[in-house]
Structure 1
Amino acid sequence: MPEADPGATIAALFEAGQAAFPAIAVEATALARYLGERCSAAGGALPPPSLAADVYLACACVLGVPGAHAAFEREFSGVIARVAARVEPSPAFADDLRQVVLEGLFSAPPSATPKIAGYAGRAPLRTFLRVIAVRTAINLRRRKADMASTPLDEEREIAASVDVEAAYLEARYKAEFEEAVRVAMGRLSPKQRALLRLHLLDGLSIDVLGAHYQVGRATAARWLAAAREALREGTRAELVAKLGLTESQYASLARLIRGRLDVSVASLLRE
């Protein structure tokens, strides 16, 4: 199947974004430049059509197009309000959170860039904002005098409740993940692949592996741990290289590796 023409894809994103926000004037070339600069960090992958309006609006905000910031607030002010209500249900806190989040999104010191400039359409803009709002809300509440009495488990629960960006990335990069595992498997030594096969497919315990290789239990455990680590590191390196991810961006995919690695390896070994 032939690959989609990037120019045609960007043109379609532009048209859909313009239709969603007809009062906000963004040049087609400006959107193309915006996507080119940001999507190169994801291996050249362009946003899906469903995120055209989000990318168009984010680009307009970065460029400072008249009406863009106001449109952003109209579209997404409810996201910040709901996060504020979850963290600390008071009007004063909601106002503080809204101000801090929007300032961080649209302005920055000379040596930094506004947070909105980091949006590249890898997740819905609503999700992007929600993650920022939750982290900001927790930081704001920590500054209060009574923060010392707030259980850390509550903070983790709040953060986990909005960790949907990772789920989106997992779904989007599933195919790349599977291929990265395949490449990493191919770089393991025959002995490492055999250890994983015996353990994951045949169900051999550490003790039985030790007896099979005529070594002590500790040695067998060390060999298996090394094989797993080599596979994890190989998968990580392949994904980072192929998608052009930074270490912080890759962290969003870490759950996928932890949760699906054994399943993917077992599937490959059956093949």
Structure 2
Amino acid sequence: MRMEQVPGLASTFLVHAKVRFVPPVDALAFERLLIQAWETARAQWPSVELPAEPFVTHLAQRLPEASPQSPLEPLLGQLSLAELYLACACERGIPSAIDIFERHYLAKLPGLLRGPKQPDAMIDDVCQLARVKILVPTHEGAPKIAEYTGRGALLSWVRVTAVRIAIKLQAVEKPTSSQDADTVFAALPAPGFDAELDLIKRRHHTDFRQAVSEAFTVLSNDERHLFRLYFVDQLSMYELAALFRVNQSTVSRWLKTARQRVYEETQRRLQARLGLSSRDFKSFLAVLDSQLELGISQLLRQEDEAPGSSKQS
């Protein structure tokens, strides 16, 4: 079949197909087959407006592996066309599709994940993370729903995705306040970065670690949860904003407020513990400030400068 003789949708399909197959001999029959696939798929979701061309492109890229001698129609029959249509629309950020996906798929996740050894807090975390991972694009690429191939039920794919997230969360238990402090401390400059800072760190290493650990106890559960998602799970500012359904500037403000509380409480505890004079303590704070800035704020700054972020400070 010569490309110049192929109608629009069929031509698009041939360009984007990643596997070889035997197309219908008649070009018009080829076009009708694709139109029928599109109409059948969108009939399931009448409120979702997805044009034929992007759907056909999406479909062609997910055609299952087969013998080059396989005819096209049976290959299409192996795919869940309606759910591929919905997934394609979600990937493109169509609001009506995302609303349907949340109501028909994500809303069922808690029941699918709940078990005798699964605390509700963990299930809530998994469901929230699953929503972000599946529906929210990052500066690195498309949202995870783009990975759905249409081979198998979409709900099963969503459940598997969520279970993998749950396994990852269970593998790294929620850090205690002491572990949170260790995360911050590990991000501080290595020896050799600055002579004065090295001296202070060596001399007051234990005191500083203890003060930071104690300072974390003043944070609310929500603030510690936010820190855990940001530092341990390494969710980006963009993902956190989507997770909590707020602006990135709001997430940035939450993080900086929590950091400031840790900073001020660490100052207070260190001054009391070390018994420094006001003059000595002022000198010590200059170094302490650089440690906390290079620990927490450096990570915040990296997200502020990420693509798609309009300087969230």
**Smaller-chain TM-score range?**
0.3 to 0.5
| TM-score after normalising by structure 1 | 0.47
Q: Which has the larger radius of gyration?
A: 2
| Higher fraction of helix | 1
| TM-score after normalising by structure 2 | 0.41
